[in-house]
Amino acid sequence: MDAQPIALEILRDGGSTRMLVSGELDLVTAPWLERAVEEHLEAADDVVVDLTRARVGDSAPIDVLVRARNRAAHYGRRLDVVWRYWPLAS
């Protein structure tokens, strides 16, 4: 199966940002995800990473999101992740 291109749609509401991610997330695309999440964490108090349209191919993107959530909490910000199977973090 060919990997889908990564796409990102941003929805902002006050101090909150919802990142709608679609495409294949894996070891190759994890650095892209990390840069995108960091950029939006710096600009918003709360960030929701919505992976309902994404496909997670391995654990690398999960590692990125767990580290980003820990950094957000350290700075008093919130990072939530929504996945079609269950919430990964809150």
What's the pTM? 0.85
Say how far apart CA 20 and CA 35 lie, in whole Å: 15
Q: How far is CA 2 from the centre of its chain?
A: 22
Say how far apart CA 5 and CA 71 lie, in whole Å: 27
Give the confidence band of 8 by pLDDT, cuts at 50, 70, 90: very high
The domain locations on the chain are: 7-82
What does the pLDDT look like over 38-52, one tens digit per residue?
Answer: 999 988 789 999 999
Classify domain 7-82 at the CATH class level. Answer: alpha beta
**Furthest C-alpha separation in the chain:** 40
Q: What is the CA radius of gyration of the chain?
A: 12
First-to-last C-alpha distance (Å) of the chain: 32
